[in-house]
Amino acid sequence: MIKKAVLPAGFTANGVNCGLKKSGKPDLAVFYSAAQAKAAGMFTTNKIASPAVALCKSYLKSGKGFHAIIANSGNANCFTGKQGLADAVKVTAEAGKILKIAKSAVFPASTGIIGKRLDTAKITRALPGLISGASATGIEKAKRAIMTTDKFPKEFTAKFDIGGKTVTICGVAKGAGMISPKMATMLVFIFTDAVISQKALGKALAGAVERSFNRMTVDGCMSTNDTVILLANGCSGNKLITEKDNFKPFSSALDMICLELAKLMAKDGEGASKLIEIRVKGARNDIQAKSAALAIANSNLFKTAVYGENPNFGRVVQAVGASGVEVKEEKLKIKLGPLDKKEVWVDVDLGLGKGGCVVYTSDLTPEYIKINAAYN
């Protein structure tokens, strides 16, 4: 595992400022594979979603080869109606024209302020330079161009062998606030040069998301734009990965990438000063364990107590009791780790079965209120 973004063979990237952000910081990114790639994606379950999400789903259903992602920050292009969809299509069409590929081979992604129309003129003017400037090292610019309230970029790379060939998986992400399970506002882009079947790709991503982003929360608020896209261009030349052959090393590496990115999001939660790991065991099943863990993770009483380094285990008791899972007072055991650390843990044993789950969150601080009171 490498704690930085190293693009796999055949991928290039770039990031620029096109004027969407008044700060002048980078706000437009491209990720590109000259070789045709397979794709898998997972998205927010929010009933009000960005047209970019709808368009990604539509393109995925087309089943055609994919090549690129165009992502902007500073504007979510959400709650913008039919015009928002037309704007997202315009961006992918213009990028496709420059790259000489179909617009459906380009995934759009947006993050930022909800309810404002996307300024496509600024984006389309910047696209030629953005695309022509893409390179293998351009990931350094691209990973910053997708950030909003993030304090730092989230990135990890894994390299492993399959049949004597080195396979690389690289993931970059943004996310700090408006983060809740069922797609914890986040964008995650993952690239691999693996030769892999479509079914294996989808299965690996679904499992990795469930074991990482769906077990992480910052504030319990579900974004309208959450997007995870995985592109596989096959440039490593490894023996084909299927659901039955060579699947474990690939899925294990993808799991690690997604979990590390999820933990970085929780650590970078808006105003956060502590990363909290909540470990629940002894539930009737894993589903109940996850419900109990998330109830604790989303408890403002608990999160403020951790910020204040107050070992008030009663905050954990009330959260578990209110979670709706089966619990018996005489069986419940709670242990809090030292609260004066940057990384804090909580162990909860329900004493009723073999179900277990680990969830990650952050503390709730006055800075969170300041950031979100001023965000528009």
pLDDT in tens, the chain (376 residues): 899 999 999 999 999 999 999 899 999 999 999 999 999 999 988 888 999 999 999 999 987 799 999 999 999 999 999 999 999 999 999 999 999 999 999 999 999 989 999 999 999 999 999 999 999 999 999 999 999 889 999 999 999 999 999 999 999 999 876 555 555 468 999 999 999 999 999 999 999 999 999 898 877 777 788 899 999 999 999 999 999 999 999 999 999 999 999 999 888 877 789 999 999 999 999 999 999 999 999 999 999 999 999 999 999 999 999 999 999 999 999 999 999 999 999 999 999 999 999 999 999 999 888 877 876 6
Provide the residue ranges of all domains of the chain, joining segments of one domain with +. 11-267, 275-373
3-state secondary structure the chain: CECCCCCCCCEEEEEECCCCCCCCCCCEEEEEEEEEEEEEEEECCCCCCCHHHHHHHHHHHHCCCEEEEEEEEEECCCCCHHHHHHHHHHHHHHHHHHHCCCHHHEEEEEEEECCCCCCHHHHHHHHHHHHHCCECCCHHHHHHHCCCCCCCCEEEEEEEEECCEEEEEEEEEECCCCCCCCCCCCEEEEEECCCECHHHHHHHHHHHHHCCHHHECCCCCCCCCCEEEEEECCCCCCCCECCCCCHHHHHHHHHHHHHHHHHHHHHCCCCCCCEEEEEEEEECCHHHHHHHHHHHHCCHHHHHHHHCCCCCCHHHHHHHHHCCCCCCCCCCEEEECCCCCCEEEEEEECCCCCEEEEEEEECCCHHHHHHHHCCC
pTM to 2 decimal places? 0.90
| Statement: 275-373 belongs to CATH 3.10.20.340 | yes
The pLDDT, as a whole number, for residue 184 is 46
Predicted pLDDT of residue 368 = 83
Say yes or no: do domains 11-267 and 275-373 share a fold. Answer: no
Place domain 11-267 in its CATH homologous superfamily. Answer: L-amino peptidase D-ALA esterase/amidase (3.60.70.12)
304 tagged catalytic: no
pLDDT for res 185:
60
pLDDT for the residue numbered 181:
55
Set 12, 92, 168, 185: catalytic member: 185
